């Protein structure tokens, strides 16, 4: 009897060990390209709702300071996969052939926009002639500013384009120090909230409505991660895509989740941000190609305008070499 009992214990222990091994989660470091907020909600939603865990993945989120910083960290192996502007990746591939690849699109519309006070009557790009426009010295929108002017029949020199600290842009607009500012649509909720407090109304002119038809924020990954753990990459994207859909179906809950995981983020503002940028993610482009997919013609146009803006030869890069559609199951 003792021998049978001992045998059962050994078998039970072996089963427990096998079970623990089979449920060991793959660890993935996700690199943000900026600070946490509503526009970064999907990865937090995926963690909180267990979407990554369902795929056998444990995600650690690392903060970043811009797309170039995020791409550099992935290229160096400090993180596996994360968010970055595809424009920054195309430029980096053209100049240095960084070992980072785009695997999924998030913003299929450009997120840049002009913000002005309603009383300033700026209703078109031509209305900016003779006006002052302030932008951050670090924003990637500066790259496309000359193109935006020219494509709308305005010479860049006809506009007083100045640079200012990112944190001072909204106050400058609201106190009348500048006629307009350029910022991301992701800042809409914050800017509108500040304007409402001082009794002002703000008009928003997204650049994708006035001629800038390019991809922007995307999911990119280190080539090392994609090569060494391809199945993990595929499962990660399955979970993230599910999180993207859940985020925009439940913006208030998603905003609250971001606040729960990052207390310094205001949950209500995060939720409003998610609502305000819905058209960047879900729009005629994503409806046509599928959520997350890169359309060849739009990718080519994104590179064409990037090359013009960066003063690079068009033939310096085939944009198709900067992405890999197979991890998204295309």
Q: What is the pLDDT of residues 23-81, one digit of tens each?
A: 699 999 999 998 899 999 999 999 999 999 999 999 999 988 888 899 999 999 999 99
Are 237 and 51 in contact by the 8 Å Cβ rule? The answer is no
Are 114 and 179 in contact by the 8 Å Cβ rule? The answer is no
Domain spans of the chain, in order of start: 26-109+215-328, 112-209
- The CATH number for 26-109+215-328, chosen from 3.40.190.10, 3.40.50.2020, 3.20.20.70, 3.40.50.800, is 3.40.190.10
Compute the average pLDDT of residues 180-204: 93
Round the average pLDDT of the chain to a whole number and report it: 91
DSSP label at residue 120? G
Look at residue 141 in the predicted model and tell me its pLDDT: 84
Give me the percent of the chain exceeding a pLDDT of 70.
Answer: 93
In this chain, the answer to whether the domains covering 26-109+215-328 and 112-209 adopt an identical fold is yes
Look at residue 22 in the predicted model and tell me its pLDDT: 46
Considering Cα of 297, then 303, then 306, then 307, what sign does the dihedral take? negative
pLDDT in tens, 140-155: 788 899 989 999 999 9
- Looking up tokens 């060990």, which residue turns up? 17
With a cut of 50, say whether residue 191 has pLDDT above it.
yes
Residues 6+ apart with CB under 8 A from 149: 125, 128, 155, 156, 158, 159
pLDDT band of 20, cuts 50, 70, 90? very low
With a cut of 60, say whether residue 19 has pLDDT above it.
no
Look at residue 220 in the predicted model and tell me its pLDDT: 98
pLDDT in tens, 284-306: 999 999 999 999 999 999 999 99
Compute the average pLDDT of residues 83-102: 95
Give the span between the Cα atoms of 308 and 87, in whole angstroms: 12
Residues 6+ apart with CB under 8 A from 222: 74, 75, 77, 79, 80, 81, 99, 100
pLDDT in tens, 70-84: 999 999 999 999 999
pLDDT in tens, 200-233: 999 999 999 998 999 999 999 999 999 999 999 9
- The CATH number for 112-209, chosen from 3.40.190.10, 3.40.50.1100, 1.10.760.10, 3.90.1200.10, is 3.40.190.10
Compute the average pLDDT of residues 238-243: 98
Compute the average pLDDT of residues 83-107: 95
Are 327 and 237 in contact by the 8 Å Cβ rule? The answer is yes
Look at residue 16 in the predicted model and tell me its pLDDT: 45
- Count how many Cα atoms sit within 13 Å of the Cα of residue 216 in the half-sphere of its side chain: 25
């Amino acid at each position: 009897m003792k021998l049978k009992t001992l045998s059962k214990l050994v078998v039970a222990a072996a089963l427990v060990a096998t079970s623990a091994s089979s449920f060991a989660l793959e660890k993935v470091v996700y690199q943000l390209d900026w600070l946490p907020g509503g526009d970064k909600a999907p990865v937090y939603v995926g963690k909180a709702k267990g979407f990554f865990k369902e795929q056998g993945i444990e995600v650690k989120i690392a903060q970043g300071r811009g797309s170039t910083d995020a791409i550099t960290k992935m290229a160096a192996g400090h993180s596996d996969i994360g968010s970055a502007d595809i424009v920054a990746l195309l430029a980096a591939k053209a100049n240095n052939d960084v070992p980072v690849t785009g695997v999924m699109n998030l913003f299929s519309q450009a997120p840049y926009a002009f913000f002005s006070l309603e009383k300033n009557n700026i209703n078109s790009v031509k209305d900016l002639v003779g006006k002052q426009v302030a932008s951050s010295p670090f924003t990637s929108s500066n790259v496309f500013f000359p193109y935006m002017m020219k494509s709308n029949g305005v010479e860049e020199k006809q506009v007083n384009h100045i640079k200012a600290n990112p944190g001072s842009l909204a106050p400058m607009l609201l106190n009348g120090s500048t006629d307009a500012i350029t910022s991301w649509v992701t800042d809409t909720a914050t800017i509108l909230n500040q304007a409402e407090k001082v009794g002002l109304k703000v008009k928003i002119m997204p650049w994708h409505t006035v001629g800038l038809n390019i991809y922007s924020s995307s999911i990119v990954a280190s080539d090392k991660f994609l090569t060494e753990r391809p199945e993990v990459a595929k499962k990660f994207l399955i979970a993230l895509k599910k999180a993207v859909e859940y985020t925009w179906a439940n913006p208030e809950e998603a905003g609250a989740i971001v606040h729960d995981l990052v207390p310094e983020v205001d949950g209500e503002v995060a939720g409003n941000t998610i609502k305000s940028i819905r058209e960047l993610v879900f729009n005629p482009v994503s409806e046509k190609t599928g959520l997350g997919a890169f359309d060849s013609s739009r990718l080519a146009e994104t590179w064409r305008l990037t090359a013009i803006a960066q003063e690079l030869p068009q033939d310096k890069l085939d944009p198709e070499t900067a992405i890999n559609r197979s991890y998204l199951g295309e």
